[in-house]
């Protein structure tokens, strides 16, 4: 048994799936959940995602071996402050935040001398459905989880968090927080912004109903991430604002290049660009870039 008692702050898709995966792996005995929505906690209880409910994060963390923060990012600082006051010396904290530098900064500001107990992590997994109802024990199987350990973390603490995610079936690796935030801005945050922007633009037109009625499978897949959780993505954009703006600029430049090729009817250059994109994606699908 890896953990006796695990506290999940934010029993949504990610937090709930973490709980279910640990239970399935028999890696924890008891899961206590806390969250803003009583209705969601009811679902979590009924589905066996959590064994008990705590009134606040401080109460949930008391006596826990492990606390997972899985709320939208804007709540992290408050949650850190709450659990910082109630955890013992043996409690480890980790998180599922999609950005790392701001999370670490919030943790340092609030956990202070307990900062060594926090091992930052980011499970690169998700779905367009949210809440405890969407949680499932297999969400992290085969997915990457990135740890961005702190200088203060002991090797044993990092290993325990690695073990926790490994028990969920994830492939765990480490990188610097700064690099993490830059990489994720490119491969995750930018695509989400683009998908939200495209659907929003289309939805605002007079003939939006007609447009949507002709949208097909390609559009469905392309825009799937525009069904993601708005509050979560608001927080990610704000937390990683500089890097996301940088990615937006790069992408706008690339779109401008495509526009210039179209304007001068440079069919050969367009085909070359499409071919290079297709080939790169093909190499990715073939596993050439797998870690």
Q: Which of residues 249-288 bind its own copies (CB under 8 A)?
A: 249-252, 254-259, 262-263, 265, 267, 270-271, 273-285, 288
Stretch that binds its own copies, among 20-28, 41-49, 81-89, 200-208 (CB under 8 A): 200-208
Provide the 3-class DSSP secondary structure of residue 29. Answer: strand
Q: What distance in Å separates the CA atoms of residue 101 and residue 120, rounded to the nearest whole number?
A: 10
Per CB under 8 A, 48 contacts its own copies = no
Beta bridge partners of 122: 146
CB of 144 to its own copies, least distance (A): 7
Per CB under 8 A, 141 contacts its own copies = no
CB of 192 to its own copies, least distance (A): 7
Closest listed residue to residue 10, CA positions, set 85, 76, 87, 77: 76
Contacts of 18 (CB under 8 A, 6+ apart): 8, 68, 70, 96, 123, 140, 168
Query: 20 φ, ψ to 5°?
Result: -65, -40
Strands, sheet with 3-9, edge to edge from the N-terminal-most edge strand: 52-53, 28-34, 3-9, 66-69, 92-95
Between residues 70 and 226, which has the closer beta carbon with respect to its own copies? 226
Six token digits for residue 191: 């695509």
Per CB under 8 A, 191 contacts its own copies = yes
- x/- map, 60-79, its own copies, by CB under 8 A: --------------x-----
Q: What distance in Å separates the CA atoms of residue 198 and residue 195, rounded to the nearest whole number?
A: 5
Q: What distance in Å separates the CA atoms of residue 65 and residue 22, rounded to the nearest whole number?
A: 13
Per CB under 8 A, 39 contacts its own copies = no
Per CB under 8 A, 233 contacts its own copies = yes
CB of 52 to its own copies, least distance (A): 32
Residues in the chain: 291
**How many binding residues for its own copies (CB under 8 A)?**
94
Per CB under 8 A, 230 contacts its own copies = yes
CB of 282 to its own copies, least distance (A): 7
Between residues 2 and 127, which has the closer beta carbon with respect to its own copies? 127
Between residues 45 and 136, which has the closer beta carbon with respect to its own copies? 136
């Amino acid at each position: 048994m890896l953990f006796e008692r695990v506290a999940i702050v934010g029993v949504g898709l990610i937090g709930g799936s973490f709980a279910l995966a640990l239970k399935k792996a028999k890696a924890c005995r008891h899961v206590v959940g806390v969250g803003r929505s009583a209705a969601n906690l009811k679902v979590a209880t009924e589905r066996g995602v959590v064994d008990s409910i705590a009134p606040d994060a401080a109460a949930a963390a008391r006596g826990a071996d492990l606390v997972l923060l899985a709320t939208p990012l804007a709540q992290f600082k408050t949650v850190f402050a709450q659990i910082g006051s109630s955890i013992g010396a043996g409690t480890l904290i980790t998180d599922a935040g999609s950005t790392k530098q701001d999370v670490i900064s919030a943790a340092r500001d609030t956990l202070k001398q307990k900062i060594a107990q926090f091992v930052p992590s980011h499970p690169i997994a998700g779905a367009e459905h949210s809440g405890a109802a969407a949680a499932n024990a297999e969400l992290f199987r085969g997915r990457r989880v990135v740890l961005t350990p702190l200088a203060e973390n002991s090797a044993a603490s990092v290993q325990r968090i690695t073990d926790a995610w490994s028990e969920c079936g994830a492939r765990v690796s480490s990188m610097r927080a700064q690099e993490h935030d830059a990489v994720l801005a490119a491969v995750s945050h930018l695509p989400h912004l683009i998908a939200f922007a495209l659907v929003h633009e289309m939805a605002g037109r007079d003939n939006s109903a007609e447009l949507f009625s002709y949208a097909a499978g390609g559009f469905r897949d392309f825009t799937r991430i525009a069904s993601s959780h708005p509050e979560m993505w608001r927080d990610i954009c704000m937390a990683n604002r500089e890097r996301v703006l940088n990615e937006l600029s790069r992408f706008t430049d690339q779109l401008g290049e495509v526009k210039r090729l179209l304007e001068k009817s440079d069919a050969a250059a367009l085909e070359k660009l499409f071919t290079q994109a297709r080939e790169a994606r093909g190499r990715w699908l073939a596993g050439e870039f797998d870690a």
